[in-house]
Chain A
Amino acid sequence: DTAVSQTPKYLVTQMGNDKSIKCEQNLGHDTMYWYKQDSKKFLKIMFSYNNKELIINETVPNRFSPKSPDKAHLNLHINSLELGDSAVYFCASSGHHYGYTFGSGTRLTVV
Chain B
Amino acid sequence: AQSVTQLDSQVPVFEEAPVELRCNYSSSVSVYLFWYVQYPNQGLQLLLKYLSGSTLVKGINGFEAEFNKSQTSFHLRKPSVHISDTAEYFCAVSSVAGGTSYGKLTFGQGTILTVHP
Q: Is B56 an interface residue (CB 8 A)?
A: no
Whether A42 pairs with B107 at a CB distance below 8 angstroms is: yes
The complex places the Cα of A67 from the Cα of B80 at a distance, in Å, of 45
Complex A-B: 25 CB contacts under 8 Å: A29-B101, A31-B101, A31-B102, A33-B104, A40-B109, A41-B38, A42-B109, A42-B110, A43-B90, A43-B107, A44-B107, A45-B106, A48-B104, A55-B102, A56-B102, A56-B104, A92-B44, A94-B102, A98-B32, A98-B103, A99-B46, A100-B94, A102-B36, A102-B44, A102-B45
Give the distance to chain A from B48, nearest Cβ to Cβ, in Å. 12
Whether B51 pairs with A98 at a CB distance below 8 angstroms is: yes
Q: Give 5 new A-B contacts, CB below 8 A, not counting A33-B105, A98-B101.
A: A33-B104, A43-B44, A44-B107, A56-B104, A92-B105
A-B pairs under 8 A by CB, number:
66
10 nearest CB pairs, A to B: A31-B102, A104-B43, A43-B107, A102-B44, A50-B102, A45-B104, A41-B110, A102-B43, A105-B43, A98-B32
